Each structure stands twice: as structure tokens, then as C-alpha cells.
Chains A and B, each alone.
Chain A
Amino acid sequence: MLCTPHEHQLSRRRLLGYGAAGTLGLGGLGGLVQPSFAKQLKKDQKQVLFIWIDGGMSQLESWDPKPSSQFGGPFRTIPTSIPGIHVSELMPKTSQLMHMLAVDRGVHTQDNSHSAGVPRINRGDPKDRGVIYPYFGSAVAKLIGPGDSGLPPYVWVKPGSGGFKFTDAGFLGPQYGALAIGEGQAPPNLLRHPSVTVAHDDVRNGLRELADERFARNRLALARDAQKFVFDTARTLMRRRELFDDPDPKDVARYGDTPLGRDMLIGRKMLEAGVTFVKVNSYGWDTHGDNFNGHASLMPRFDQAFSAVMKDLDERSMLDNVLVIAMSEFGRTPRINGHVGRDHWPEAWSIAMAGRGIKRGIVIGKTNDLGTFVDSEEHDIGHFFHTWFHALGINAGETEYDNNGQPLPIAHDDCGPITELLA
């Protein structure tokens, strides 16, 4: 049954009431507790928060600083909650949460262009078998499924336009694409128009179902399923309008009143609501020019949003179930160009992760003193796909996709999980 805007307002007030009770009775869970949340906590639903820092975060201004070296840049390092480990001074909040994280400083990937690097990284760089592999979000949507929330398994919270982004799904088929929430806005026309009664709506849906059946008769199952999936998704979202409510100003203050802060907050709400895979995008990190002034504002905003979501997931005991990954398509060059920028650098960079199946408070991998190359075992994206699948309880060495009878490995055949990262 659909809620009306009036009922919806009531539910928001009730939610505030729960919030007050929560503040008194549940300490750190604050004003965000929903009646269904306690049940959610008990479930062992595997989920992923995938934070995509588009353009390339500088490893030297974040996870792997090299102060006072030729390429080290102007920033100092600060100690973290892991003794002996330092990160850039631009991450003061995250530095105090390092005991929750696992950071690999030995990442070495293959592409130094956005156009090739973004899809290659997102697909796990599998061997070429003449098919288009799914992005990690679509893969998880397929392999883990939507859970019992009724919500789409793959939600992408991003600046810019929203809609259904089926291209991520590759050969899995469009129903494993991403439901994109653009600018934090609910999809348009989410609520039934007040002039349409429930009875009238039922009649209209009956007519729609007849049309769907006719549409499906001469179509492939993939297209038919995708059509049904998108419509079912829309109907589910209509029942969950509260997911798009204005955020609590206190939460906005904690996450940062920035595009990333707001989107990260929505991402957390989606995870709480039971979405299997949530991707949160931040754009604008391609700092070929003015890298240091750029990172001086970019990094603190990432730091605030990332540390806030980590704290919230930890306080809600969600890190037992949620795998968190923060990464770009590559790092940035050690060399500083004439525009005081850093260019693309896949040779030696860092990925941070936490949560389900991941060891806590560990930094592995090592770059040389200048930060130019990996000075330990190199880890490519194929290794990470194996690692993340393993963390989610999926053995990538044994699990295969079935692409209309064609068996396909879910991660690069020649790679395996990075065991030091696994809990």
C-alpha cells in the first residue's frame, strides 16, 4: 500500500520520536534508529559500500605520504591510531580510525587513462574472453542478490543525473545495472499523484501488466526481466519515500555540507535500508593542475565524509556485514608538473578498505622512498576482486558466471586473494 505525503510527514515525526528515545536509550545510535533497524542488525546480510573517487586521489597526499622527499609535496604527516603508521595531515579524522581500516600501499594497475582505466578497474581486469564483464557492483548484485529489503541490489549515489544505468551490468543483463540517485534526489514522480486514487491506480496497473505481457511475447528473457525489474524497483521505492527525506542537520554537519558528505549520508541510509551494494561517487579529483591547493580542500572533505560513515557503520555494528572500499582508477604521479599538478599514475598507489571479512588496523604493501614504484609484492585489481569476493564469502576460484552456457570466472584467473588483508 502506498503512503500519502500526509502519512509520510507523520512517519517523519515518529522517526524523530524514535530518535529522541534512541538518544536516551541507545547512546551512539543517536537519532537514526528505525523500528526495523534492530532486526536489520541481527541479519547477516552481506553488503558493500564502494566509494569511488573519480579522477584519481593522490596517494602522496593521503594514504602513502613521503614527506621531505623529492616528490613529497608540501604537507606533513600525522600519526594514526595504528602505532608507527602515518598518513597525510589532510586526513586528521580518518587517521584516528586507522585501527578499523586495511590499507594496501602496493597497488599496481595497468592503465594510465581514464577512458580505459575506469572500466578496467571496475570490471576487475579479467582476461579477455570476448564478453563485457560486469562492474563490481553488478557482480555483487548478481552473486549476492537483493536480500529481503525489496530494494534494488545496486544503488549508485552520485552527483549529476540519476536513472537506471544498465551498462555497468555487462553480459549479466540490464537488471543487474545500477539505480542511480542523482544529486540526492528521489527519482521523479516517485509518489502517486494525489488526483489518482488507489482504485484508479490498480486499474491502471492491470492495464500496464497486460501491455507488459504483450511486450514480453516477442522479446528475449533478458529484456523482459529488465523491464519487470525496473518497474518493480520503482514500486518498491515508492513505498520507501522516507529514504529521500531531508537529512538531519546534525548528520549533515558531521558528514559535511558538501556533495560527497550528502551522498555518503544517503549511502549510509541505503545500507541501513538493506541495499546490497551502494556506490558513492565523488568527482573532480583529476588534479593535473594545482594539485596541492586542490587536495588541501578535497581531502578534508573526503576525510570528514569517510570518517563519519565509518563511525556510523561501526557504531551500528554494521562493519561485520558491510565491506567498505575507497579507491580511484589510479593514483597520481610523484612528479610535479609545471602546473603544480600531478598526472595519472597506476604504477604505485593505495586502496583503503574495511569491514566484512577484512582485517582491521593493518597497512600492507610498500612503495620505495620516493614513492615512485612498489617495493613489495604488487597487487593488481584482479587480486582485489578475489580478496573482496572472499571477504563476502564467495570463493572466486570456484564460482563462475553462466553466460548462456559459457562458464566465466568471476575474477582474473591468474590472481588470488591477498591473504594478509583477510580477517
Chain B
Amino acid sequence: MIADLTPEQLKARYEPKPAKVAAIQRQLHAAQFTPPGTRLIGGGYDSLVRLWDITAEEPVEVATSDSHQGWVQGLALHPTEQLAYTADSFGRLQCLGYADDKLELKWQMDDAHDGWIRSLAINKDASTLVSVGRDKTVRNWNPADGTLRSTRSVEGADLYQCAFHPDGKRFASGDAHGSVKLWSVDQLAALGECDASELFSVVRLQDVGGVHTLLFSLDGKQLYVGGTRPKNGGNVQGEPLLLVFDLETKQLVETIELGPASDVYVQHIQEHVDGFLIAATSGNPNQGKLHLLRRGDKEPFSTTTNLSNCHHISIHSSGDRLAITTTSPGSNGNGRPLKDGNYVGNHSRVQLLAFPQPEADSE
């Protein structure tokens, strides 16, 4: 049990070490291990869905799908079958099969939302797929064929995130103003709200902050909400915050600050089955960290600082590896950076990290 370990012991056992890197010449939003764990699948700012074989010494991109437009930001994987659900910023939702190292379109829904679909989530028995977007709607889909079952409009701001409860019957949505709503899958009935407005501020003309990540704890008792405590607009700055809510009371029970204002956002959070949280932060270019935090602790027992901007975390089904989607260092600058006379865009790296082997935990 990690509850009995000292921070030093936790660090020795879990601080991840670099393993492999998948480098992409475009910017990725997220990359996720497929359930068998031999492939990565990701989507990004170039409208493509990409599939990598990660069994070789170096990850190899084996397939791409160009059936999206805009940014591919919604990504959810079927828990058992080789199916990926992807959604883009032009409102298209689709299902792609990824068997045999091919990306094959299974179904596609144009105008699934009016514009930017920000997040997708699927429950563990794969009976329901939910989506949220800039059109301020929550939608319930049949993952088998893309049939829309129900839609609920939400008062307030653009919806940024959604996540399923482990029971598969409830889920949460989070918006640009820090409002978190709980829903039942049946009829999309509202179950309550959690106030995460600390993650939001209006600065001059700009809405700043919002819910950047949502996660139910594996035991289903708590809800983690990540974002920033905004200090300003424009070049957004603010301390990365993780808010912990008790699901029964809907009350905030803990606020965890994960770095200085230059680190800005908790962009993504995941929970490891051994009982610790993994949080990715990303703020000023080249300011991103990966924090490992035992549940109930105030301070991370491990912070990895050399990953540049971290946007997404995926935990391998074995629990012994991570895939962190990052933007390359040196990604910013005013004016024209030309290379060989060409204007160069940014690129991403999916950093594959491995936890130390158990035998290292001999003490």
C-alpha cells in the first residue's frame, strides 16, 4: 500500500523515467494508449487522427485518418473493442476502427454539435458516449452507430470537459466559467453542481480560465477539477489548481496548488490504480510539469520538469507506463522565425515514460 510509503520511497518507486519518444511534425492535443497497450492513437491541430505502433524500439506511425476538419480534440477509446471515438472543432463526431494497423471509418456524424466539440467520454461498458461543446450542449450518443439519444442545453458558458463516473451511470461536465454539473445518463437529468468558479475570472474583455480537466476518483467518491487561478488575460497566467470535491455533498474539500503562476493550467489529470494522481501542467512556453501526488497529500512526491508543455496524460493498462503529449520547447517567439527560408510551425512529442520496475522497491 502506498499509504505507508515515505515520499522518498514513493519517488523511488514511481518517478517515471524516459523510455521512448514519438515525434510528430505537427501539434497534437492528445495521444492515448489503446486498450491492448501496443498502439497509441492521437488527434491534434492538423485535423488528423494518427495511429502509432509502440512495440518497436522507436514508435512508428502506421496509419492516419484525414476524415476530420479543424482540431481533433475529442478522443475516447472503446474499453474492449478496437474502436476510437473522435470529434473535431467543426462539429463532426465519428467512430474509427483501428484493427490491423488501419484507421477505418465506422460511422460519422456531421454537425454532431454546432462547432467545436471539446470533449468526449465513454462509460466502462461502452453503452454511452457523451460529448460537450462550444454550443453549450451535452449530448448522449449510442456508441454502436452514432445515434443521438438526447441533448441538453446548458445555461452559461462554453462547455469544455466531460468525464464519466466509474459507475458508468453518471458523468460530469465543466464549462469555461468554472461551473461543474453532474448528470445521469438516463434522460440527461441534472444531479447537482460543484462550484469551481475559482478557476475563472473576467479580465478586461476576456473570459479567462475554466475547467480544463475533470476526473472522478477510482473509488467514485471524489471529483477532481483542474484549471488555473487566473491572474490576468492576454498571456494568461495563474497558479495551476486542482480542486477536489466530495461527491456526496458537492462541497470543495481540498484545493491543491501545483506550481507557480507561469505554469498556469492543470491541463489533465489521471489516477493510477495504486492510489496516486498524475497531473500535467502547461503554461508559458517550455513551462510544463508532470506531478505525481498521493491522494490526500498536499505536495507532489515527484515533479518532472523537463517535458516542456504537457497537455495530456495516458496511463498504460499495465500501469507501468505513461504517454505524455507535449509541445516542443522553443515553441514561441514574436516575428518571423524562418528555417531555410520557410516559416516553421510547432511540433509535438509524445513522451513515453516508464515507472521503475518493482524490484527497485526492495526497501
Contact = CB atoms under 8 A, between A and B. Distances in A.
A75 B236 contact: no
B206 A339 contact: no
Interface residues of B, number: 54
Contact of B205 (A68, A70, A259): A259
A394 B236 CA distance: 43
A292 to B, nearest CB: 9
B136 to A, nearest CB: 12
A333 interface: yes
A286 B204 CA distance: 12
Contact of A339 (B158, B205, B285): B285
A289 B237 CA distance: 8
- A-side interface mostly: loop
A335 B327 CA distance: 12
Contacts of B26: 70
B205 A282 contact: yes
Contacts of B115: 75-76, 89
Interface string B221-247: 000000000000111110000000000
Interface in A336-393: 336-341, 343-347, 370, 372-373
A287 B234 contact: yes
A31 B171 CA distance: 49
Interface string A237-261: 0000000000000000000001110
A417 interface: no
Interface stretch (B66-74, B181-189, B291-299): B66-74
B314 interface: no
B32 interface: no
Contacts of B220: none
Contacts of A166: none
B134 A338 contact: no
B303 interface: no
B264 A338 contact: no
B159 to A, nearest CB: 12
A337 B335 contact: no
Interface string A281-306: 01111111110011011100110000
Contacts of B203: 284
Contacts of A9: none
A339 B345 contact: no
Contact of A55 (B176, B234, B332): B234
A286 to B, nearest CB: 4
A199 B96 CA distance: 85
A284 B234 contact: yes
A78 to B, nearest CB: 10
Contact of B284 (A70, A284, A339): A339
A145 interface: no
A336 B285 contact: no
A112 B73 contact: no
A405 B204 CA distance: 44
Interface in A53-85: 55, 67-68, 70-76
Given A290-B208, A338-B327, A112 B335 contact: yes
A293 B118 CA distance: 11
A335 B344 contact: yes
A288 B283 CA distance: 10
B251 interface: no
A74 B288 contact: no
A76 B327 contact: no
Given A76-B70, A287-B234, A370-B343, A70 B46 contact: yes
A297 B334 contact: no
Contacts of A258: 205
B197 interface: no
A260 B45 CA distance: 31
B210 interface: yes
A286 B282 contact: no
A31 B282 CA distance: 50
Contacts of B207: 293, 296-297
A152 interface: no
Contact of A260 (B205, B308, B328): B205
A370 B336 CA distance: 14
A65 to B, nearest CB: 11
A255 B284 CA distance: 34
A290 B203 CA distance: 13
Given A284-B234, A345-B334, A339 B73 contact: no
Nearest to B73: A74
B217 interface: no
Interface string B311-353: 0000000000000001111011111110000011110000000
Given A285-B234, A297-B206, A341-B236, 12 more contacts: A67-B70, A68-B69, A75-B70, A112-B334, A259-B204, A287-B233, A287-B236, A293-B210, A296-B134, A298-B205, A336-B345, A343-B335
Interface of B: 26-27, 45-47, 69-71, 73, 89-90, 115-116, 134, 158, 176, 203-208, 210, 233-237, 264-265, 282-288, 308-309, 326-329, 331-337, 343-346
Which 8 interchain pairs have the tightest Cβ spacing?
Answer: A338-B309, A74-B89, A284-B204, A337-B332, A288-B235, A338-B327, A344-B334, A297-B207
Interface of A: 55, 67-68, 70-76, 89, 112-113, 159, 258-260, 282-290, 293-294, 296-298, 301-302, 333-341, 343-347, 370, 372-373
30 contacts: A68-B47, A73-B45, A74-B70, A74-B73, A75-B70, A75-B116, A76-B70, A76-B89, A89-B115, A284-B233, A286-B234, A289-B264, A290-B265, A293-B207, A294-B233, A297-B176, A297-B205, A297-B206, A298-B206, A335-B331, A336-B345, A337-B331, A337-B346, A338-B285, A338-B331, A339-B309, A339-B332, A341-B236, A343-B335, A373-B343
